[in-house]
A and B are shown apart, each in its own frame.
Chain A
Amino acid sequence: MTDKTDPQSIAGKQDFPVGGGECGRLIRKYDWSQTRLGPISKWPQWMRTSVDICLQAPIAIVMLFGPEGVLVYNDAYAAFAGQRHPKLMGMKVLEAWPEAADLNRQVLETCYVNGETLSLKEQPLILFRYNNAADELWLDLDYSPILDETGKPGGVLAIVVETTDKVNVQRTLLAERVAVMEANKRLSAESVFLRDLFEQAPSFMAIMSGPAHVFVLANKSYQHLIGGRNVVGLTIRDALPEVVDQGFVDLLDKVLKTGKPHIGTGTRVMLDQTVGGAAGERFLDFIYQPIRNSDGMVSGIFCEGQDVTERTRGEQHLRLVVNELNHRVKNTLAMIQAVAAQTFRNANDLPQAQAAFSARILALARANDLLTGENWEGASLSDIVAGVSVAHAGNQPDRFTAKGPVVRLSPKAALSLSMAMHELATNAVKYGALSNDAGRVDVIWGVKDGRMRIEWRESGGPPVTAPGRRGFGSRLVERGLAGEMGGKADITFEPSGVVCIIDAPTDLYEGGEQ
């Protein structure tokens, strides 16, 4: 047996470690005597076993032997180490990876000195593996002590799993998730913004869904329009029963059926202002716009519009005023025609007739002014008398007095009375109390037992003689004014002065008959 050397044992000693790829060859060739581990042939069995296990493993394993952590590793680890391999083999760990010295000090302390394990998951590290360039990577690192024959830590075994790709994927996923969350937040803010916009829009808006037209949304303006009623979730028939007979449900049905929008301009609608309360008239500009779903089918109707009631009423009023104005202009022309016809009818003296015509037209214009100032709603008797006074005794107001209670006359009565008093005053200036320096006119009126009495009394003028022929003025007062006021009007030519008494029922002139 002595001459027979155990080939296996010799081969084992010479060829240790067996296999192990590139790193196995490197370890076999390496001059370990330079290191603290000493020549490889002297390595104790626990180290050899560890090296074998390491070299046979398909995952990256590095071993740190001795207190300095002299590195021995396998091919998988060499691949991980990049261009730092093969110089790493046999180096002290702190010198081998100076950029990770802090971590490795901790490793030696924990595993080699204290004999404990250390597990680091997704440990970020910056290593210089290729072309001296910083390389950020993520590692799962598991360190455990390697025990010698005495059971004390003789080294540290480290399993290195690079998780950079996984971490990067996770980071990408996280970034995407954050982006999605931000997008969601933005969308949600946008939707709040749109909802607020819808809610606060000055035009009224509502969305109705399906053939029964169920309210899905109705903004504040819409609710205001319908008297604050809550309609969401109700069919239009239940929500706004008063519009059914006004044709609006038929319109909605038509829009739903044809898919064509309906536009209403100044459309009149009666809307209850409270639940079951009184209906109010509104005028609306609105559109019923069909809403199509992704299949192109009309699934609902968007209703949007504006309450144009005030504008419409303004327009109606304006139309009324324009019509009224046209009527009045034509009427005034007819009156001028009548005045002209009667002024020139029996005129013996043309210049005199022209002057009288002109004065009558002016009287008509004054009465018009008075009524326009009152918005053509009528005039007070005292204003009419004052107008006549200013026109005929303007510079001597004390010669023309007026006294009586407040009496309102209809526009027609006011106009007729103005014209009649113009005739009386003209006569007074020409022949009566205002033709000298001393005479005066007193107009007194009163209301008693449903009748009004107006007295025109001249005094202090030249002696009066009754005219041979009744002129236009007399006729206007006695026939025209009497007819207009629905009563009697008498002119008497008393020697002391002209007296005119008008007696009329109040129910006719007060505008009560309108």
Chain B
Amino acid sequence: MTRPLRVLVVEDEMMIAMMLEDMLADLGHQVAGVAMRLPQAMKLAKDIEADIAILDINLDGRKSFPAAEVLRERGVKLIFASGYGSPGLEAPFLEEVILKKPFEASDIRSALKRVVA
């Protein structure tokens, strides 16, 4: 187990957001905040204390890239979650780590490892 990380969860599906919280807790990490829509994500992105953000690319029809931009500017590491049929990554985020849905706790662990390594 690496050191506990503070993770911002940006996920528009209520159930999946909650599962993600549980999985992060089980992995020994701390959920710094949860946003389910872009406006909330933008608000949190500006001042949340987090090491990593896991962002669903598609937030109820809107892309999460504006929030990702703010987070990256602030030095928060990024993991993008993408569902089937959802839009893919766009510049300038083409090199970022992708977490494919549906995922398990082990997928999150390896994604976090890649980002903090």
Contacts and interface: CB of A to CB of B under 8 A. Distances in A.
Contacts of A197: none
A335 B102 CA distance: 9
Contacts of B14: 415-416, 419, 476, 480-481, 483-484
A129 interface: no
Given A338-B13, A479-B18, A483-B36, A330 B60 contact: no
Q: How large is the interface on A (under 10, 10 to 19, 20 to 34, 35 or more residues)?
A: 20 to 34
Interface stretch (B46-54, B80-88, B89-97): B80-88
A350 interface: no
Interface residues of B, number: 26
B115 interface: no
Contacts of B86: 327
B34 A331 contact: no
A88 B101 CA distance: 124
B61 interface: yes
B16 interface: yes
Contacts of A480: 14-15, 17-18
Contacts of B13: 331, 334-335, 338, 412
B39 A479 contact: no
Residue of A326, A335, A410, A415 most packed against chain B (CB within 10 A):
A335
A475 B18 contact: yes
Contacts of A375: none
Residue of B15, B35, B36 most packed against chain A (CB within 10 A):
B15
Contacts of A327: 83-86
B65 to A, nearest CB: 16
Residue of B22, B36, B39 most packed against chain A (CB within 10 A):
B36
Contacts of A345: 22
Given A479-B34, A513-B62, A342 B22 contact: yes
Contacts of B38: 513
Given A330-B101, A334-B102, A342-B22, A483 B85 contact: no
A484 B40 CA distance: 10
A333 B101 CA distance: 10
A339 interface: yes
Interface string B1-45: 000000000001111111100110000000000111111100000
Contacts of B83: 327, 330-331, 334
Contacts of A514: 60-62
A415 B16 CA distance: 13
A323 interface: yes
Interface in B65-117: 83-86, 101-102
A297 interface: no
A513 B19 contact: no
Contact of A342 (B18, B34, B37, B60): B18
Contacts of A508: 37, 39
Nearest to A475: B18
Contacts of B102: 330, 333-334, 337
Interface in A304-341: 323-324, 326-327, 330-331, 333-335, 337-339, 341
A284 B28 CA distance: 60
B37 to A, nearest CB: 6
A486 B60 contact: no
A323 B17 CA distance: 24
A410 B60 contact: yes
Contacts of A415: 14
A508 B13 CA distance: 15
Nearest to A472: B18
A186 B34 CA distance: 85
B24 to A, nearest CB: 13
B44 to A, nearest CB: 11
Given A326-B85, A327-B86, A514-B61, A339 B36 contact: no
A508 B35 CA distance: 13
A24 to B, nearest CB: 121
Contacts of A335: 13, 15-16
A25 B49 CA distance: 152
A334 B39 contact: no
B108 to A, nearest CB: 12
Given A338-B16, A476-B14, A483-B14, A326 B37 contact: no
A412 B60 contact: yes
Interface string A1-27: 000000000000000000000000000
A337 B85 CA distance: 18
Contacts of B101: 330, 334
B60 A326 contact: no
B45 to A, nearest CB: 15
Interface of A: 323-324, 326-327, 330-331, 333-335, 337-339, 341-342, 345, 410, 412, 415-416, 419, 475-476, 479-481, 483-484, 486, 508, 513-514
4 pairs of A and B residues whose beta carbons are closest in the complex: A327-B85, A338-B15, A330-B84, A338-B19
Given A330-B102, A339-B15, 13 more contacts: A330-B85, A331-B83, A334-B16, A334-B102, A337-B19, A338-B15, A342-B18, A476-B14, A483-B14, A483-B17, A483-B40, A486-B40, A508-B39
18 contacts: A326-B84, A330-B101, A331-B83, A335-B16, A338-B16, A338-B19, A341-B19, A341-B22, A342-B22, A345-B22, A415-B14, A476-B18, A481-B14, A483-B17, A483-B36, A513-B39, A513-B60, A514-B61
